Amino acid sequence: MPREIRLNAFEMNCVGHQSPGLWAHPKDRSWQYKDLEYWTDLAKLLERGKFDGLFIADVIGIYDVLNGNGDAAIRQATQVPVNDPLALITPMAAVTEHLGFGLTASLTFEHPYPFARRLSTLDHLTKGRIGWNIVTSYLDSGARNLGQKALSDHDARYDYADEYLEVLYKLFEGSWEEDAVLRDRERRVFSDPSKIHEIRHHGKHFQVPGIHLCEPSPQRTPVLYQAGASSRGKDFAAGHAECVFVAAPSKVILKKAVADIRRRAAEAGRDPRKILIFNLQTVIVDETDAKAQAKWQELKSYTSYEGALALLSGWTGIDFGQYQPDQVLKHIHTNAIQSAVEAFSTADPDKQWTVRELANWVGIGGFGPLIVGSPQTVADELQAWVEETDVDGFNFAYALAHETFRDVVELLVPELQKRGVYKTEYAVGTLRDKLFGAGPRLPANHPAAGYRDLAKLQAVTEPLQEPSYERA
């Protein structure tokens, strides 16, 4: 039986996202990112195409590595201006019933206590359709604007993240017992204090003594996404993530990445098949191969070399302005996205990349591979990627908003459905239900489950006896 292919849409509350320069195309809508209709139209379109979710990227800071300033990014609208992603989710949830929402929020710049409330609020309002993409950030410009000289060391940020998640798990999973909320109108008791617990967290980075401010949401802990692909990032993903996003430019590299993540998950005591892995991908599809190729050639004429270099420089920490377009990239250790550098310079030793080739590659869709062709051609290629790499699905970036996704929904999805490799209806329940089919809550073998009984974890004296509000 052919394997099901899963799809997410990759977006950002900005102009153009991963395709610098394409905002100038007469059919592109990304400059409307600040309008509510832009997002509600997109949500309805994706739900019509049975997408699992809309994955919303985010950065705090600007891409100011190229030539030592942010001028290129500003000129080309390369992820600046950029608005907050959280505010998008509620209106999109209001016009959809099934579409999931993956919110990117950096734990480097968000204290876990108020952030837990934001996530629980969204999980309530979406009826359990919220996910969180856990990132530790990579732009020093963001750190400076929050009073830090620079980001801490790459691996140290993940040590910080481990404790951050411990705080969240205690709040989400352990603070409120399942039957803490009574809503007893007769006795006028809404919640039972004896079943709501202070988390009493005292760690290296955080002191959080109190209770979670929210009653348990449908999923309690949102679906956990993670996109780090360094060795330390993979360890983190293997321990915590339910969905992992990677940006492998070739099948060879992707196959290695997928196998590595699943191996690490097994070593962490988790079921490696219960982790869904998505690769960044862009497809340009039309009724025939010839029409698709013509569309691609037209789109390429709008790409911005300067904007692509701004992205590359920000992602890698390398100022590509110091190199000539035909200069070959050498592996350089940076404190930014290590995996991006590794993918192009060391993981595929048979390929030598010039600066111009890298810019052309990321000019449409970012680091992920680009597939151009008819619905049949694109479907063939996507199936080949799944079969040859063991990836579960794809995180689709767009070239034109919303035309790229409309082409996928109207042309590609029917072809995938006809082949029996793509769902024709959504599963019932929360986002976690839809993705894994095993209920709304994290499984018992996830590290978060260890915080469901806080009493066992707290070496404290017996608290004062509290009155019981159990139903008679």
**What is the CATH classification number for the domain harbouring 32?**
3.20.20.30
> Which pLDDT value is given to residue 153?
66
> Which pLDDT value is given to residue 358?
85
415 near 408, Cβ under 8 Å? no
- In angstroms, the CA 175 to CA 204 distance is 21
The answer to whether position 465 is within a domain reads no
Average pLDDT over residues 352-374: 89
Query: Using one digit for the tens of pLDDT, what is the confidence trace for 187-220?
Result: 999 999 999 999 999 999 999 999 999 999 999 9
**125 has a pLDDT exceeding 60:** yes
> Which pLDDT value is given to residue 471?
44
- In angstroms, the CA 390 to CA 388 distance is 6
Total residues belonging to the chain: 472
- In angstroms, the CA 345 to CA 329 distance is 7
> Which pLDDT value is given to residue 469?
47
Query: Using one digit for the tens of pLDDT, what is the confidence trace for 68-121?
Result: 999 999 999 999 999 999 999 999 999 999 999 999 988 877 899 999 999 999
> Which pLDDT value is given to residue 253?
87
Query: Using one digit for the tens of pLDDT, what is the confidence trace for 39-80?
Result: 999 999 999 999 999 999 998 889 999 999 999 999 999 999
**Which residue would you say has higher pLDDT here, 345 or 267?**
267
The answer to whether position 469 is within a domain reads no
Lowest average pLDDT, out of 191-205, 316-330, 444-458, goes to 316-330
**314 has a pLDDT exceeding 50:** yes
**152 has a pLDDT exceeding 80:** no
- In angstroms, the CA 332 to CA 244 distance is 25
Average pLDDT, the chain: 90
**141 has a pLDDT exceeding 70:** no
> Which pLDDT value is given to residue 472?
36
**396 has a pLDDT exceeding 60:** yes
């029996």: which residue's tokens? 420
Cβ contacts of 43-48, under 8 Å, gap ≥ 24 = 43/92, 43/93, 43/95, 43/96, 43/99, 44/95, 44/96, 45/402, 45/405, 45/406, 45/409, 46/9, 46/99, 46/405, 46/409, 47/96, 47/97, 47/98, 47/99, 48/409
- Domain with 331, as residue range(s), is 6-457
Query: Using one digit for the tens of pLDDT, what is the confidence trace for 412-448?
Result: 999 999 999 999 999 999 999 999 999 999 999 999 9
Strand partners, 82: 14
The answer to whether position 255 is within a domain reads yes
Q: Which of 55, 106, 58, 100 lies closest to 81, judged by CA?
A: 58
- In angstroms, the CA 408 to CA 404 distance is 6
- In angstroms, the CA 98 to CA 96 distance is 6
């049975």: which residue's tokens? 50
- In angstroms, the CA 409 to CA 415 distance is 10
The answer to whether position 470 is within a domain reads no
125 near 112, Cβ under 8 Å? no
Lowest average pLDDT, out of 113-122, 255-264, 276-285, 458-467, goes to 458-467
Instruction: Tell me how crowded residue 204 is: count the other CB atoms within 10 A of its CB.
Output: 8
Q: Are strands 243-246 and 276-285 parallel, antiparallel or unpaired?
A: parallel
- In angstroms, the CA 391 to CA 258 distance is 6
**Which residue would you say has higher pLDDT here, 357 or 334?**
357
The answer to whether position 471 is within a domain reads no
**313 has a pLDDT exceeding 80:** yes
- In angstroms, the CA 365 to CA 421 distance is 24
**470 has a pLDDT exceeding 80:** no
Overall number of domains in the chain:
1
Q: Which residues of 120-134 are buried (b: 16+ CB within 10 A; e: fewer)?
A: bbbbbebbbbbbbbb
End-to-end alpha carbon distance in the chain:
54
Spatial CB neighbours of 472, under 8 Å, sequence gap ≥ 6: none
> Which pLDDT value is given to residue 107?
82
Share of the chain above pLDDT 90, in %: 72
Instruction: Tell me how crowded residue 316 is: count the other CB atoms within 10 A of its CB.
Output: 24
pLDDT grade for 343, boundaries at 50, 70 and 90: low
The answer to whether position 112 is within a domain reads yes
pLDDT grade for 29, boundaries at 50, 70 and 90: very high
Q: Which of 286, 291, 277 lies closest to 415, judged by CA?
A: 286
- In angstroms, the CA 320 to CA 307 distance is 11
Lowest average pLDDT, out of 298-307, 391-400, 452-461, goes to 452-461
Q: Are strands 130-135 and 223-226 parallel, antiparallel or unpaired?
A: parallel
The answer to whether position 251 is within a domain reads yes
